Amino acid sequence: MATGKPRSGLERAFEQTGLKQLFDFSRCGDEGFPKPHPDMLLKLMAFAGLNKERVLMIGDTTHDLELAANAGVRSVAVSYGAHPESELRRHEPVKCFQSVDALHTWLTQKRLICKSAALLDGGKAVRFDLPHGHGSAPCFTMRFDGKVFAYVNRCPHRGTELDWNPGEVFDETGLYLICATHGAMFDPQTGLCISGRVKVAGCKRSDRGA
């Protein structure tokens, strides 16, 4: 939540609506530079450990959309709030929605993970969360040999995430996926473990990092 309200106003709104538990982090107008300065969003991204590729700013004012642009992140406009659709569209949001239902449907069914061109062959992966049960599973998508693949980000040895830095899942040759914890290696085209502690620990050849 990035809001121009002072902290006291946001806490009051949270109390009245009972929505506080839906927000992991919040930043208010009296805690830094006001919108459209990118400070609020950059602080929230730092709190959450997210880079700009993983952030989507949803806003109902032109200030919100300018804030997103100034922070280098994508934005979605909603026209059921403060500013009319015609003004919001001038800031070129990814989408503009007229209702909460339409926004919700799009977010849950047509999530944009990243642009295809952002995935370089054997390069950095893009992380995303896949809804699973009552929570979500960490996943990543990457390109190998011209094709895009996506896997659950979990090493079958100990269940840890593969990347040693966010999105760094390839070994130095760019030919294999590698687990940062103990170095098990996986075929990027199948997710099959091909060497390392996964086998030593008793996992079969058919174990996948996905």
Binding site for ligand FES (CB under 6 A): 155, 157-158, 160, 179, 181-182, 184, 196-198
Which CB, 38 or 156, lies closer to ligand FES? 156
Which CB, 124 or 157, lies closer to ligand FES? 157
Neighbours of 71 (CB within 10 A): 22
Min separation Cβ 182 and ligand FES, Å: 3
Pick the closest to residue 108 from 136, 140, 67 (CA basis): 136
Question: Sign of dihedral through CA atoms 180, 199, 196, 207?
Answer: negative
The rounded distance, in Å, linking the Cα atoms of 6 and 29 is: 5
Min separation Cβ 51 and ligand FES, Å: 23
Min separation Cβ 180 and ligand FES, Å: 8
Pick the closest to residue 79 from 93, 66, 71, 68 (CA basis): 93
Min separation Cβ 179 and ligand FES, Å: 3
